[in-house]
Every structure is written in C-alpha cells, then in structure tokens.
Copies of this chain bind each other. A is one copy, B any other.
Amino acid sequence: MKVDPPKELLKPLQVPSKILMGPGPSNCSQRVLQSLGHQIIGHFHSEMFKLMDDIKAGIQYAFQTKNKLTLALSTAAHGGMEACLGNLIESGETVLIAKCGIWGERAGNMANRIGAHVEFLKTEHGVGFDLDLLESYLKKFKPAAVFVVHAESTTGMKQPLEGIGNLVHRYNSLLIVDCVASLGGEPFFADAWEIDAVYTCSQKVLGAPPGITPISFSPLAVKKIFGRHTKISTYYWDMTILGDYWNCFGKSRIYHHTISATLIYGLREALAELAEEGLLFRWSRHKLVAAKLREELLKRGFQLYVKNPKFQLSTIVSIEIPRGINMNILSTRAMERYGVEISGGLGPTFGKIIRIGLMGNNSTYRHVDLLLEALDDALKFAIKSKI
C-alpha cells in the first residue's frame, strides 16, 4: 500500500460540548440528537416517504405556505440559494439583488455563474430598503427576479418584507427570499407576502443538524420552472425531478439522489418541536429574549449596530466592538471559560461588530444570563490583557 491508514484516525473521536451563541449553527435539543442515532433506512422505503411527507407539511407550516413544491434539499443552505436562482433564472435574464451584507454578494456570484445579468440594490449596512427605492429599480432594470435577504446575518439586520411581493409582481418579476437566519424566530408569511421562492437552513432557529435545507416555490415559480427554454445547469438542483421525488406534483415518485436518513430524522424531530411549541409562541419567545439581551447590553454601554428597531432581528443581536478591544481575545476567553460561542463580524463587518445568536433552543433568558456573564468576564479579561 502506498498510502498508510492515518494514525489520527486510530485515536478516539472527541467532540466538545459548546453553547453556540454565534450566528449559527445553534444547539440541537436532546430529542433531536437522539433521533440521529436511529439506523439508516433507504431513500425509497415507504417509511422514508412518510417522513418526507411529514417534513413537507412541517416546512409548509414553518413558511406559512400551501405551496405544493415544498421540500428539503440534501445540501447546506448555500444550495438553497443556488437552487432558487438556478431554477428561476435563465442565462441572459436580469436579476435584481438587494445587497446589504455578504449574502447579496454571494447571490450575485451565483447568478453570474449561470449567465444572468446582475444588478444590485445596495443599502447602508444595518438599514433596509423601502418600497419606493425598490420600485425605481424595478422600473429601471425590469428584472426577471428579485433576490432579498430577510435576515442579513453579517450585520444583524432584518429587511421588512411586507408589500415587496406585491410590488415585484406588478412588474412581472418573481420574488426570491433568503430567510436562513430568521425562519422560526421572526414572523414569516410566504403566501401572504407573495414570495415565489424561499429557503432557510436547518441549523439555526429550527434546531436540526446542518446539511438539509427547507425550500418552497409558489405556483407562479413552478410555472416559470416548467416553462424554461433551457434546462437548469445543475441536475442536483433541478426542481422538476426533485419535486417528483418529494411527491409534489402528484405523479409517481422517481429516484433523484440518496437522501440522508440521518438528517431526515433530525429535521423531522426539529419540525415536530416547532409544531408542538407553535409559531406564535416561538416568535414571541425570540422577540422577548432578544429585547432582554438588547436592554442589558445597552445598560452596559454597548452600542447596537442596527440602530433602527424596525430593522433589528430577534435572532441575531449585533453590537459594535468597544474601542480597543481585541475580538479574538474576547471570543477565545468566552469559549475557554464558559464554553460559549460569541462571534465577530463576517465580510464587511469583520473587525467591527460582535454577533450574538439567540436562536431556537438557545433563545431563552437563561442563555441571555449566561451570555452576559461570559461577555462581562471576557471584556474584563480583554481590557486587562491590553494593559
């Protein structure tokens, strides 16, 4: 043998237990973690189809949609972004992307790859756009689709979505929404808000493991997908086939890929927990907990990065790094001393802000208390280490 078995693999697996209060992933509940240990079942077994049906219904509930083409992609949430753009946009078409952080940038990158013409609607970091500004862009660029991020996790900013779908439709365009960092933690109504394509992740507010991505397409989006002039460039994201595997079109199921039984178990249980708690309760829990944290942070003299309450998220609270404080020292201390993850910025906010996630199982007053204790201590430590 030219390549020997690696010695590191002969040592036992070691996984630390952390309290994940960055922008995601968040912690899974014991119920979800236990479900992951079930033996694998096949991708075409009747029990798998039952789980997929239940998950579909759970995702419809979470998105508040009756869309038939609703399912979970076997991918990270980046795949959800790419599947929405790839299915709804053909080469040569224009897509308008609201850009106020890293995710709009990423969507632009993906849209460029499929030959779309990309226009950006840029806003100041931490500030959303309004309908008048959007309308001027719609008039000017006549895009085939508009891409909006509901929760910009790089800044902690919420883009209000009311009225956008209706406006976009008046200009014969389609609305794609990324709610990766908000779904379950912020009120969300895919149908009432006339959203044509939406995706979220499994590992933030929903509290499932990463690797499986809820997604849904409106009837208008389905019409566009089936009326395309060209096939989507990626088989793996092709909703015309995936929709059949998930029994979304009422035809017989066909094989598309081998779904991950493990992740299906975890997502099923996470959605069951959501169904048991109920959206209204979960939304208010996130709102109350985030308000409590902001209040305590303000008391301590921190500056919120998102100033206007209407743009503040209940899932991620962002604050400015106090002058002269080394973010690395801060987060390392919080992790080492308290096992608590506190994140710095990403992309445009790198080195500027602290991001605190209060998502899913980690959105409780108890987590706020722990976070503050860790933050207070880490801050003292960081100040001391400056001297």
Contacts and interface: CB of A to CB of B under 8 A. Distances in A.
Interface in A344-370: 346
A117 interface: no
A65 B3 CA distance: 7
B42 A236 contact: no
A128 interface: no
Interface in A213-271: 231-236, 255-263, 265-266, 268-269, 271
A211 B211 contact: yes
A375 interface: no
Given A9-B272, A42-B341, A113 B64 contact: no
A279 B111 CA distance: 43
Majority secondary structure, A binding face: loop
Nearest to A271: B9
Copies in the complex: 2
Contacts of A259: 76, 210-211
A27 interface: yes
B235 A234 contact: no
A38 B236 CA distance: 29
A280 to B, nearest CB: 7
Interface residues of A, number: 96
A301 interface: no
A272 B14 CA distance: 13
A297 interface: no
A57 interface: yes
Given A47-B16, A113-B232, A27 B6 contact: no
Interface stretch (A28-36, A119-127, A155-163): A28-36
A39 B60 contact: no
A106 interface: yes
A198 to B, nearest CB: 13
Interface in A15-74: 15-18, 20, 22, 24-28, 33-43, 45, 47, 53-54, 57-58, 60-61, 64-66, 74
20 contacts: A3-B65, A5-B274, A5-B279, A8-B54, A9-B57, A14-B47, A16-B47, A22-B42, A25-B42, A40-B209, A40-B210, A74-B210, A75-B75, A78-B235, A82-B235, A86-B234, A113-B231, A114-B233, A210-B262, A234-B234
Interface of A: 1-6, 8-10, 13-18, 20, 22, 24-28, 33-43, 45, 47, 53-54, 57-58, 60-61, 64-66, 74-79, 82, 86, 106, 109-110, 112-114, 189, 191-192, 201, 203, 209-212, 231-236, 255-263, 265-266, 268-269, 271-272, 274-276, 278-280, 341, 346
Given A13-B35, A16-B41, A26-B40, 12 more contacts: A2-B191, A3-B191, A18-B42, A24-B258, A25-B43, A43-B210, A75-B79, A76-B257, A106-B235, A113-B233, A114-B233, A211-B259
